[in-house]
Structure 1
Amino acid sequence: MSGPHRVVLHPCHPWGVRDSLAKVPGVEVISPPDLESLTESLEDPRSEILVSFIWTDECLSLGLRWIQSISSGCDSYPWETLAEAGIRLTSGRGANAPAVAEHAFALLLAMTRRVGKSVRYGDRGIWRQAMCHELTGATLGILGLGAVGEEIAWRAKAWGMEVIGTKRHPDSYEGSASEVFGPEGTVEVFRRSDAVINALPFGRGAPPQVGAEELEALGDGWFVNVGRGSTVDTEALLEALDSGELRGAGLDVTYPEPPGEDSPLWTHHKVVLTPHLGGFSPQYADRLAEIFAVNLQAFRGEGEWVNVVV
C-alpha cells in the first residue's frame, strides 16, 4: 500500500500507548473514543491493523489483517475465528516483563519482611514486632522461565538466591537458573524451594498446574502468583494456607478475577493481594511500540514476526 499504515487503537488501552505507537515510522494511529467509533474506524478498508488490549466482537472486520495485542496474554481472543479469517495475532509478550518481575519481589518481600501484616496491624493502631526472613541464601523456584520468569531469575540471583525452575522445553534454556526442569518436574521444584513464583501463562483447556500436591511439597514456604489465576487451584491454595503449612501467598492474579465478594482471599491474614497491576509501568508503552515496530516490518514482508499467537 502507498502512504502510512492505518493503525486502529482500541479505546481500552494503557496510558502512553498511543503516543509511543505514533512515534513508529510509517503509521497513522487512529484512536476512536468508544466502541461505536471503533466499529466505524474498522469499517474503513484502509484499517488493516488493530492494536488492542482486549477482544470485543466489534473488532472483527473484513479488512482486518493483523491484531497486535497490548497484553502478553491473549486469553480473550477467538483464536480459531481469527485463523479462519486469515488474521494474524501477535502478543505483547516481554513488554511488561521487568515490571512484573519487580512486582513479584514486592509481593514476596511483603511476606518475608512482614510488610503486609505490619500494614494491617498499623491500620488498627497496633505496633507489633516479629521475626522476619532473608532471601539471601534461599532457594527460589520459578514456574515458567519465559520473558517474565527470566527477569525474575537474574534479579533473584543478584540477591544471592539459588534459582531453579520449569520451562516447557528445558533443553533450550540459557539463563540465570542453575537447574531447569520440564513441566513434569513441577513438584520437585516446589519440594526444593523456600519460595515459588508462578509466572506461567494461560493454557487453554489445561487444568491448574499448581494444586494440593505442589503446595504440600512447598511445605512452610511462600507462594507468589504473577502468571495467570487459572493456573492455580484456589481451593487447594486456601486449604494450604489454613492448614498452617504455607507461610503466605502473594497474589497479583486470581481465579476468578477479581475474587468473589465472599472470597476469603480479600481478608486472609496470610495473603497479600494486589489487583493485577504487576505490568503497570510508564516504560511499558515504549517496549510495546518496539515489538509493534518489529512486527510491522514482518507485516510489510521485510522481516520475521515475533510473539506470534495465531
Structure 2
Amino acid sequence: MQWTLEVVQVPVADVDRAKEFYAQRLGFAVDFDVRADEAHRFVQLTPPGSGCSIQLSAGYGHDMPAGSLRGLVLVVPDIRAAHARLVEQGVENGGVVVTQDGQSFRPARDDDALDNVGFVHFADPDGNRWSVQQISSRAPAGHDLSVTRVLDVPPTEAWRAWTEPEFVMRWWGPTGFTAPRAELDVREGGTSLVTMRAPAEYGGQDFHNTWTYRRVVPAERLEFELDFTDTDRSLLPAESLPPGVPRAVRHVVTLRPVEGERTELTVQEFGYGTAEARDVSRAGLEQCLDKMVAMFRNQ
C-alpha cells in the first residue's frame, strides 16, 4: 500500500497576507481559495514541482499558534539560484550556508560542495520557519558508522592524538599495522597525509590517505574528508578503491569531557555504499581506537 503526504497545515494569523507571500514571493501555485462563510476560509497552495501542498486557513480552531511551525523543508537542484530568487523577491533569509552534522551551519564558500548540505533558511510573515535544501539527485541510501571510546586523559590531551605526528603514528592502522608517516596540517582547508604499513605477513604494503579538514574546533570537534592517494598525494583511480567505499569518506570526530578528567571520543564515518564496506571499516576503526586507548593508558 502506498501512503503519500498531501497537505501540511501552516498556522497563520492573516490568510491574505500569507497567501500573498507564498503565491507572489515564493511562486507557489494557488490550487483553491474557499470561503465557507464570513468566518471560515482555507487556501491551498503547492510549491512548483511538489507532490505535497500547504494549507492556510481561518476559523477552524487550530490549536497551533500562528508562526509556530518548524522544520519545513523545500528541495531545489541549485541552492544558489534559489537564494538569488528569494533575494529578488524581497524574502529575508540567512544566505547560503552549509552543514556537516545537521545542527550547526556556516556561510558557504565558493569551493564548497553543496549537494545535500547546502541550505537557505527563511521565515514567512508569521514566523513559520522554512529551510531550502539542495539535492540535485537522489542517491541510494548510504551506510554510516559511529564508534565511541573513553580515553583516560582530558580533551586537551586527547586532541593531540589527532594533531601531533608522533601521536598519530602510534595509533593509525588496525592491529599489526604501523604508521611510518604523518605529515599534518590541521586547519580548516588544510590537508594531512598519513601512511599505514601492513605487517610482513600481509605483504608489507604502504597505504596512503589524505585528511582534508572542513572544520577544526580545538579539543572539541574535527571534520575531514579521507581520500585514498599514492605517496605523492595523487588520488588513486576510482577502480582501485574497495567495493562500496566512496571516493572521499566524510569523518566527524567529537571529544566530550567526562568525569575523572577523561574524554569520550566518538568517530563517525559517512557514505559507504554497502553494509559490507561499512562493517570492514568499522572493524578497522575499532582496532585503531583500541590502540589509542592503550596509548594514553600506558603513557
1 or 2, which has the higher helix percentage?
1
In the superposition, the TM-score normalised over structure 2's length comes to: 0.25
Structure with bigger gyration radius: 2
- Which fold has the larger relative contact order, with Cα–Cα distance below 8 Å and residues 6 or more apart in sequence? 1
**Structure with the bigger percentage of strand:** 2
With normalisation by structure 1, the TM-score equals 0.25
